[in-house]
Structure 1
Amino acid sequence: MAGRLRAPTGRYGGRTAEDRKAERRRKFLDAGLRLFGDTPGYRSTTVSALSEAAGLSTRQFYEEFRTLEDVLAALHLQVNDWAEEAALSGLAEADGQPIAKRATAAFRAYAANVTGDPARLRITFVEIIGVSPRLERQRLARRARWIQFICAEAAAAVERGEAVPRDYRVAAAAFIGSVNGLLHDWSSGWVDASLDEVVDELVGLLLGILRPADWRPADA
């Protein structure tokens, strides 16, 4: 019928409302990565400063997040996801290789991803600490996920006859603590070594856990 109004499509400028919402969220997260991961840091950033850095309004901020802590929580998960994807890609590239090459490939990819952007490193190891019980639970949950990652690789190595059969949960937790501590100290300039040297040290530590000095492969 002539003159009938069209039903609203939710599109503006060729983009849906969902697209625009996703773009706003991405801009806030990008701004949070810059501000939380550098100067002034999470604890000194305000909603107004974050909104200005994102090129958006505080009203739009509260349409996407309740608090700045929500932004930090989302960033912490994101940087861990990026690091996990890098480690898995490293493993995939070394598929079928001995455990030493697999571990080297995984941790070289992980370390390159985490340390490639100082902002990611700071959010992973510094800004997330001591913020709230909620974020502490999230931090420990992601840590547990990394521990499971190590345990899964250890179990696979055992099946291939490349590691001693045992419960690796405590050893994996200790190893992840070493990874976090060493990378944090290296990034802070407290460890005089190249990133390759740091990775080699971590791989040597992991291999020492998987294959103690008195252990020999079953077919040796």
Structure 2
Amino acid sequence: MTQVRPYGGVEARERIAQRRNRLLEAGLELLCGTDDAGELTVRAICRQAGLSARYFYESFTDKDELVAAVFDWVIADIATTTQAAVSAARPKAQSRAGMANIVRTIAGDPRIGRLLFSSHLANAVLARKRVEAGALMATLSGQQAIESLGVRDNDRVKATAHFVVGGVVQTISAWLAGDVDLEPDQLVDQLAATLDALADPVLYVQPIE
């Protein structure tokens, strides 16, 4: 079997990973670099990444697969850092820690905010990925409520979990659009206070019929 030799001291697998990351970064920039992003094409992605088309098809079958990968890449990173921030905080400060990490991340890189929350992006793949991510986040939010509040899984938990995810998404979308005029820290305080108000176990107890 033919072996691929290292090039410039970098193994083939690592070179492929580096090229893939360049393509992901290019996709994020072209999709979300501005509110008026143009048409996304393989040629434009390759030009932005400084790579030839053959390297694009080394990692992706088409541009839709790249768009999905860009979303997964960004959401995985923000989920990891948010979970770390929550785990490191005291129980009563966890809501603020989680919201602070999300707001700080999208404030630091507007492209991430546009990718996850902007209503101006009409890409069909992004729309589908947002729905999938929302359902997953609602499930995780419900599980966290069950564990932290010591309540049983029921439809009240599920309803509140969907309310939390949808409410946070809508609020951040409005903030990014300028409809909510708060400083980042003020937004974090408001979101955290709202989430803390929902941390009453009584809200999740199913009545006895």
Q: What percentage of aligned pairs have identical amino acids? A: 27
- 1:176 Cα deviation after fit: 0.8
Taking structure 1 as the reference length, what is the TM-score of the superposition?
A: 0.79
**2:204 is the counterpart of 1:208:** no
Identify the residue that residue 156 of structure 1 maps to in structure 2. 147
C-alpha distance in 2 between matches for 1:104 and 1:21: 38
Confirm or deny: 8 A CA contact 1:37 1:123 kept in the other structure. yes
Amino acid at match of 2:19: R
Q: Judging changes above 3 Å, is the alpha-carbon distance between structure 1 residues 31 and 195 closer, same or farther for their aligned structure 2 residues?
A: same
Q: Judging changes above 3 Å, is the alpha-carbon distance between structure 1 residues 135 and 11 closer, same or farther for their aligned structure 2 residues?
A: same
**Which sits farther off after the overlay, 122-131 or 26-35?**
122-131
Structure 2 counterpart SS, 1:45? coil
- 1:42 Cα deviation after fit: 5.8
- 1:11 Cα deviation after fit: 2.1
Equivalence map 1:1-220=2 (5 Å) = 8-39=3-34, 44-94=39-89, 97-99=90-92, 101-126=93-118, 130-132=122-124, 136-159=127-150, 167-211=156-200
Structure 2 counterpart SS, 1:15? coil
Confirm or deny: 8 A CA contact 1:103 1:203 kept in the other structure. yes
Confirm or deny: 8 A CA contact 1:158 1:164 kept in the other structure. no
- 1:139 Cα deviation after fit: 2.5
**Which sits farther off after the overlay, 138-147 or 71-80?**
138-147
- 1:41 Cα deviation after fit: 5.8
Q: Which runs of 5+ in 1 are unaligned?
A: 1-6, 216-220
Identify the residue that residue 218 of structure 1 maps to in structure 2. none
- From the CA coordinates, give the structure whose radius of gyration is larger: 1
Identify the residue that residue 4 of structure 1 maps to in structure 2. none
C-alpha distance in 1 between matches for 2:171 and 2:3: 55
- 1:119 Cα deviation after fit: 0.6
**Which sits farther off after the overlay, 48-57 or 64-73?**
64-73
- 1:180 Cα deviation after fit: 0.8
- 1:164 Cα deviation after fit: 10
The Cα offsets for residues 122-180 of structure 1, whole Å up to 9 and x where unpaired, read as: 11123796533x65443222112211222122123313xxx899631111111111111
Confirm or deny: 8 A CA contact 1:79 1:120 kept in the other structure. yes
Confirm or deny: 8 A CA contact 2:24 2:66 kept in the other structure. yes
Taking structure 2 as the reference length, what is the TM-score of the superposition?
A: 0.83
Amino acid at match of 1:124: L
Structure with greater proportional helix content: 2
- 1:65 Cα deviation after fit: 1.3
- 1:121 Cα deviation after fit: 0.9
- 1:86 Cα deviation after fit: 2.0
Moved over 6 A (4+): 163-166, 212-215
Confirm or deny: 8 A CA contact 2:71 2:115 kept in the other structure. yes
Task: Kindly tell me the number of residue pairs found equivalent between the two proteins.
Answer: 202
